[in-house]
Amino acid sequence: MPQLNGGGGDDLGANDEMISFKDEGEQEEKISENVSAERDLDDLKSSLVNESENNSSSSDSEQAERRPQPRPVLDSYEKTRDYFSEAFRRQQDGGFFKGPHYPGYPFFMIPDLTNPYLSNGALSPSARTYLQMKWPLLDVPGAAGLKDSRSPTPGHLSNKVPVVQHAHHVHPLTPLITYSNEHFSPGTPPSHLSPEILDPKTGIPRTPHPSELSPYYPLSPGAVGQIPHPLGWLVPQQGQHMYSIPPGGFRHPYPTLAMNASMSSLVSSRFSPHMMPHHPHGMHQTGIPHPAIVSPAIKQEPNTHDHMSPSMHSKSPGPAKKEEDKKPHIKKPLNAFMLYMKEMRAKVVAECTLKESAAINQILGRRWHSLSREEQAKYYELARKERQLHSQLYPGWSARDNYGKRKKRKRDNKPDSTPEGKGAASYTWLATNSF
């Protein structure tokens, strides 16, 4: 990842990400120059898929801010800072995501009709393959000519199915609420921008189910407990924790920390029951574990193989194994995209009627790229704070600690990879055979 310390400092700690983001946009522009006629059809079709994915929308001004032109980094950072400061201010006012104060924070998006980046509808080849398999009626064209995962599209797809968004409101799902204390206040998307969700199977627009409504709405803490929470390690809804919580109860794994104000704010909203006297869910008051901690006994990671380090995986019973059992598994902090996925997954699932995470993640990946800088910056900031908090909670922890604790995964996206891998063939066959 290109490093460009362009003066952003570590205010957001996302310089590099932003840079990479910009590069992608430039790449898009380049590719868009080679747009072929056949791609019109391709895009038209893929736009159908997008309609089901892109629930979205945004104001014209917001659209204008979308990635077409790399903007000064500082500019976006300042805007982002404004977001956070505003979010924090409103949070202090006692409001949780109060109103649509942030038109620039639409998590619902439609393809930008003028922007080569957003307009492309960009289905990655594998996504096309998979989506085509999943939704044959969409007739997702092949990825011919697509080198980039985001195929360019002429910015004239005004023939897209009109995206009509219902005015919707508070969604029970309020992801990232765990970060609400000082992070962002997403605001409510303009009411006229509610997407008319396209049934991915039939291609027929359908009225959004209540569960498909935007999760980015004000939500009082008391309401949190009533609904599932995608980011809800804080919300003890069945299995919905940012990190797994031992079912048998909660230990108090946190070392005593000296935290600055910002950290304590974050921690108070997430980790410290002592600082959270009003937890609405009757969470065990004696200790909420850091979500990154997973008891080995109930570790959700399949761990039956001997990929663990010798110290962590001993076949001979004994003190070593006991130690291992006692040693909590500290997970990696989530990165920006993971946070985004956690937040958006439920919505995408609802819209697409898909549940396969592989497919959902492909969609989310595309949406991630379609986010504006400001929108992504929020997640980068969250991730940065997450890492910061993580490092404070576990000073000695290293990502290396978790190496080998998970089944080794082959990571070859090589085009010549044989379609041996079960679903791999399904996901990538077309992509690998299209060029």
Residues of span 19-58 touching DNA by CB under 7 A? 20-21
| CB hemisphere CA count around 113 (13 angstroms) | 12
User: How far from the centroid of its chain's Cα atoms is residue 346's Cα?
Assistant: 11
Nearer to DNA, 91 or 178 (CB): 178
Q: Tell me which residues in 323-362 interact with DNA (CB under 7 A).
A: 329, 331-332, 334-338, 341-342, 345, 355-358, 361-362
Cβ atoms of 178 and 231 within 8 Å: the answer is yes
Q: Determine if 242 is a binding residue for DNA (CB under 7 A).
A: yes
Residue 412 engages DNA in binding (rule: CB under 7 A): yes
| Residue 146 binds DNA, judged by CB under 7 A | no
Q: Which of these segments, 30-38, 89-97, 277-285, 409-417, binds DNA (CB under 7 A)?
A: 409-417
Residue 366 beta carbon to DNA: minimum distance, rounded to whole angstroms: 7
> Which CB, 90 or 134, lies closer to DNA?
134
CB-neighbour burial class of residue 72 (10 A; exposed 0-12, middle 13-18, buried 19+): exposed
114 scored as a contact of DNA (CB under 7 A): no
Of 5, 159, 202, 398, the one binding DNA (CB under 7 A) is: 398
Q: Which of 60, 61, 158, 411 is in the footprint of DNA by CB under 7 A? A: 411
The correct pick among 52, 76, 126, 269 for binding DNA (CB under 7 A) is 126
181 neighbors 89 (Cβ within 8 angstroms): no
Strand partners, 197: 206
- Ramachandran angles phi, psi of 122, nearest 5°: 5, 85
Determine which helix (DSSP H) or strand (DSSP E) holds 294, and give its type and residue range.
strand 293-294
- CA R_g for the chain: 22
415 binds DNA (CB under 7 A): no
Residue with tokens 């995964």: 409
| CB 343, min distance to DNA, A | 10
Q: What's the rounded Cα separation, in Å, for the pair 191 and 28?
A: 30
Q: Which stretch binds DNA (CB under 7 A): 9-17, 69-77, 253-261, 276-284?
A: 9-17
Q: Does 259 bind DNA (CB under 7 A)?
A: no
- Binders in 288-307 for DNA, by CB under 7 A: 291, 300-305, 307
What DSSP state is assigned to residue 402? G
SS (H, E, C) 3-35: CCCCCCCCCCCCHHHHHHHHHHHHHHHHHHCCC
Closer Cβ to DNA, 90 or 345, answer by number: 345
> Rounded to whole angstroms, how far apart are CA atoms 360 and 366?
10
Query: Which of the stretches 81-89, 192-200, 310-318, 419-427 binds DNA when contact is defined by CB under 7 A?
Result: 419-427
Here the tokens at position 424 are: 């791999």
In the range 366-385, which residues lie near DNA by CB under 7 A?
368-369, 376, 380, 383-384
Smallest gap from Cβ 411 to DNA, in A, equals: 4
Segment 157-216, which members bind DNA (CB under 7 A)?
Answer: none
Contact with DNA (CB under 7 A) among 286, 403, 415, 435: 403
| 132 touches DNA by CB under 7 A | no
User: Which is closer to DNA, CB of 100 or CB of 121?
Assistant: 121
Residue 83 binds to DNA (criterion: CB under 7 A): no
* Smaller CB separation from DNA, 183 or 369: 369
Residue number with CB closer to DNA (171 or 331): 331
The secondary structure of residue 56, as a DSSP letter, is B
Distance (Å, whole) CA 388 – CA 111? 34
For residues 148 and 70, the answer to whether their CB atoms sit within 8 Å is no
List of residues 6+ apart from 203 with CB closer than 8 A: 48, 135, 137, 138
Question: Which CB sits closer to DNA, 59 or 388?
Answer: 388
If you ran DSSP here, which 8-state letter would residue 67 be given?
S
